[in-house]
Amino acid sequence: MTMGEERYRLLMACPDERGLIHRVSGVLAQAGANIVAFDQHSEGLGGHFFMRSEFDARTGTDARIRKDMESLSRNVPMQWRLTKAHQRQRLAVLVSRESHCLQELAWQTGRGDIDADIAVVISNHAEIGELAQSYSLPFYYVPVAKGQKSESERQILDIVANYQIDTIVLARYMQILSADFVSRFPSRIINIHHSFLPAFVGANPYLQAYRRGVKLIGGTAHYVTEELDQGPIIEQDVHRVDHRHQLADYKRIGRHVERMVLARAVNWHVSDRVLPFENRTIVFPI
């Protein structure tokens, strides 16, 4: 990248047809862009085409690229987005009593392993404030009283707007967000939960799993949609257990899987490696 240039990322999804790569690379070439990374997946003619590109171009040429992509999309129905790689996303982390996922995110963003900033931590448990303070993170206590969920969500929305948040991360936030709240952040709310759903729903899923003698402890990170726990999956992982593991082991292993799965999902999201499409995701490899 030379002086006066910026790095951009372009993601797109559309019905597959011949010549798509040629047309998109033509848009970038006419803007004087230099492609430094390119990945694509085709389902074949009759299916869909997915693409991610990183390229260097003169500062300010993104306006021309947007115009040319809009022109291209009039002939080929597509969803696409263009971002500036240097603009770090601002995260709001919502957490309840369990703090392991927040700690992993705070550590990885602080080290630069996740290229984003935790702008604010919000919790319905006041004791999380001490942890947030230890990482020098702004903290807001927003209790969720019975029958007052809408008021709590209004307060959270005000905080999110004040901190100019790009993405909301539910780091074991044990509250169900309303459809109105979720609709304001399409593909911009990431949740983590254990992978026992729907087999072990409700309270004490690890106790239920222990009693059933499960052999795999898992975690799933997904985008939040209006349908509970049915949003597009970003990342999953599992850890094998056996009869020698006790309930405390299940919980300890579960915490480890959850925090690593969520951290990977957030990292890929802020790096523009996740392309939500219908009710699934295309995750471009690192």
R_g of the chain computed on alpha carbons: 21
Options 16, 39, 115, 229, the catalytic residue? 229
SS3 assignment, position 56: strand
Token pair for 168: 């909301």
Checking phi first, is residue 46 left (phi over 0); if not, alpha (psi -120 to 50) or beta? left
20-30 and 62-75 are packed helices; what angle lies between their axes, rounded to 10 degrees? 150
Q: Which residues neighbour 202 within 8 Å (Cβ) at sequence distance 6 or greater?
A: none
Among candidate residues 231, 237, 230, the one with its CA nearest the CA of residue 276: 231
**Longest CA span, the chain:** 63
Rounded to 5°, angle at Cα 246 from 245 and 252:
85
Pairing of strands 167-170, 139-141: unpaired
Is 229 an active-site residue? yes
Rounded to whole angstroms, what are the CA distances from 118 to 53, 61, 98, 112, 264? 26, 29, 18, 11, 15
Catalytic residues: 229
